[in-house]
Amino acid sequence: MRQDEFDAIVVGSGMGGLVCAAYLAAGGRRVLVLEQHDVAGGNSHVFRRRRAYEFDVGVHYLGDCGPDGVLPAIFAGLGLEGRVTYREMDQDGFDRIALPGLTVDVPQGWQGYTKRLMEALPGDAAGILMFTDICAAVADETRELMLSDGDLSVADLMARTPVTARWGRSTVTELFDHCSLSPRARTVLAAQSPNYGMGPRDAVVSQHAAVTDHYLRGAYYPRGGGQVLAASLVEALEAYGGELRTRSRVGRILVEGGRVTGVGLADGTVLKAPLVVSNADYTRTVRDLVGEEHFGRRLVARTRQAEMALPFATLYIALDTELPARPNANLWWYRDGDIEAAYRRLAEERIDPVPFLFVSFASLKEPGARHVCPPGHSNFQVMTLCPPGYEYWGVREGPAAGERYRRNQAYQERKAYLTEAMLSAAEEALGPFRDHIVHLETATPITHERYTLATGGTPYGLARWGGVGNRPDTRSTIEGLHMVGASTRYGSGITGAAVGGMACAAQIMDRRLLSEVHRGARLGAPELLPPRATDWDPLAVSRGAGRRTARGLARIG
């Protein structure tokens, strides 16, 4: 085979793209992964500052990483068991939900979760029990279906998922109304909704149930930080004959006569392959990389009218002191007890004072880790959802279209304004800490788009594509073209994207891959994986073999 010809090319190296690529390589295909950024990983990547602090961009915690977990099974199927391990968070309270006059620590398991909520809100106890019973049933049905080892008829599908058939495509607000829940109860039940970037009026019950169930199966953090996930997949890809090329931006996915023929890079290079998997943003894939002319009118109309999930702004903070003692739990802080009103204010671009915060404490999740921060210091992130679109930021087209925004005065003023508002809210939630800040950095949705090319700078992909709850499958209408990532029907987040990558590889290979590996099957051979030296650096590995020793890599210490 020629050097510019491959069996499969994967555009983008987020979790979905890397999982799909690694499984295709393990299955014997010659696979090339192309990534426009300096390192692979997408929203799972990290960055380093001052040779002392490492910040996770998107991996703040993972669910369902116990012995029966889906994500560990996906890695194990590639021979990676033992290379990716997980630290448990506080299983009696891995998420702390704080409202004025009310604090609820979310424990592992639906039963304990429901009991704790009913005790905290006794006036809503009956409605809470009804809500969680329905969500738990939907979650169980969809997980069983995801791990099933055979195709079901429509009649069998309906028989096995009766609660999902009744409630799965209803909005969370519709279920709230059915359960006659108060605004305060709705706020506690939907407090973690920023995990999927939508408020209760936009999110469907199946999505809310799946994400809630994911964490109620146990909350974890990967040892070594989020980059270990991507680096391990890169090791598997390369060990099984695949290749990762970073700093390689794809300008076009080539289609002739209704089928894929390869890709054209931004520098003019053409690479051939009969199979292309796009882990790029779904909207940009359809409209820019492939071109609307290659798709049917209905799909194009849906994509033009699509709405994205809400994006985040994030403060990356390092202190020269330790935070006051607190459990190994994330904090979900709300200014008041009406989450639906908070989302309405967000849509109206009224986010000062900041209505809610998510705070992730990296130095608690991996205490003593040299790469996180020096001894006696703290490393944490403060996040809040932002209005969609560019108008709020004073930006016209966005960095993916080439706009140079960083010297835009309106953008810088808005960024500084929101930074101050978030810091003020964080000190309300945590107590004073500004005098101890030694590093402060703000990432806006525009920053996120610059690095990931995600429409609107959201990590969560599509919120609406056609009807409520609709999302595209990984298989497209163009022969040889598949799509993975946060916008597919398999969900967003690390595990959702990984499951989508598995589903895509399974379609291509015509195997029930997820059920196979969950039952213990192994496609990869661990003996082919490279040894890890004591100074093994997941960030270096994630640059790909061709750039592993290139200059410019930040290191700790």
The pLDDT value recorded for residue 557 is: 75
Q: Assign 3-class secondary structure to 445-502.
A: HHHHHHHHCCHHHCCCCEEEECEECCCCCCECCCECEEECCCCCCCCCHHHHHHHHHH
pLDDT tens digits along 24-43: 999 999 999 999 999 999 99
The whole-number pLDDT of residue 468 equals 80
CA-based nearest residue to 388, from 461, 441, 285 = 461
What pLDDT is attached to residue 527? 95
Q: Is it the case that residue 424 has pLDDT exceeding 70?
A: yes
Length of the chain: 557
Tens digits of residue pLDDT in 93-149: 999 999 999 999 999 999 999 999 999 999 999 999 999 999 999 999 999 999 988
Q: Chain-centre distance of CA 16, in angstroms?
A: 10
Query: Given a cut of 90, is residue 150 above it in pLDDT?
Result: no
520: closest CA among 72, 218, 24, 25?
A: 72
pLDDT score for 2: 65
Beta strand 330-334 with 53-56 is unpaired
CA nearest to 429, candidates 99, 43, 108: 99
Domain boundaries, the chain: 8-45+62-86+223-306+464-547, 106-217, 310-456
CA–CA gap between residue 278 and residue 255 (Å, rounded): 13
Q: DSSP alpha helices (H): ranges in 355-395?
A: 362-365
CA nearest to 371, candidates 109, 554, 249: 554
In this prediction, residue 1 carries a pLDDT of 56
The string of pLDDT tens digits covering residues 240-298 is 999 999 999 999 999 999 999 999 999 999 999 999 999 999 999 999 999 999 999 99
CA dist., res. 219 & res. 203, Å (int):
22
Q: How confident is the model at residue 160 (pLDDT cuts 50, 70, 90)?
A: confident
Instruction: Please report the pLDDT score of residue 406 as a whole number.
Output: 87
Q: What is the pLDDT of residue 154?
A: 59
Read off the DSSP letter of residue 407.
T
Q: What is the pLDDT of residue 556?
A: 86
Residue 545 to residue 336: CA distance in whole angstroms: 50
Average pLDDT for 330-338: 96
Task: Give the ranges where 240-361 is alpha helix by DSSP (H).
Answer: 282-284, 297-304, 339-347
CB 259 within 8 A of CB 479: yes
Q: DSSP letter at 394?
A: T
∠450-451-455 over CA atoms, to 5°?
A: 60
Residue 153 is predicted with a pLDDT of: 62
The proportion of the chain whose per-residue pLDDT surpasses 70, expressed as a percent, equals 99
Q: What is the pLDDT of residues 209-223, one digit of tens each?
A: 999 999 999 999 999
Helices (H), 222-316: 227-239, 282-284, 297-304
Q: What is the pLDDT of residue 466?
A: 87
CATH of 8-45+62-86+223-306+464-547, one of 3.40.50.150, 3.50.50.60, 3.40.50.2000, 1.20.1260.10: 3.50.50.60
Could you report the per-residue pLDDT of 431-460, keeping only the tens digit for each? 999 999 999 999 999 999 999 999 999 999
Query: Mean pLDDT, the chain, as a whole number?
Result: 94
The mean pLDDT value for 360-366 works out to 95
Report which of 176, 122, 463, 447 is spatially closest to residue 314, judged by C-alpha positions: 447
Give the phi and the psi of residue 123 in degrees, each rounded to 5: -70, -20
Per-residue pLDDT tens digits for 51-89: 999 999 999 999 999 999 999 999 999 999 999 999 999
Confidence of residue 155 (pLDDT cuts 50, 70, 90): low
Give the 3-state secondary structure of 415-456.
HHHHHHHHHHHHHHHHCCCHHHEEEEEEECHHHHHHHHCCHH
Question: Phi-psi category of 450—alpha, beta or left, where left has phi over 0 and alpha has psi -120 to 50?
Answer: alpha
Give the residue-averaged pLDDT of 320-331.
Answer: 93
- Residue at token pair 């999740």: 365
Q: pLDDT at position 467, please? A: 80
Amino acid 175 reads L
Residue 469 has pLDDT above 70, yes or no: yes
Average pLDDT over residues 369-385: 96
The DSSP code sequence of 505-540 is HHHHHTS-HHHHHHTT---S-GGGSPP--TT--HHH
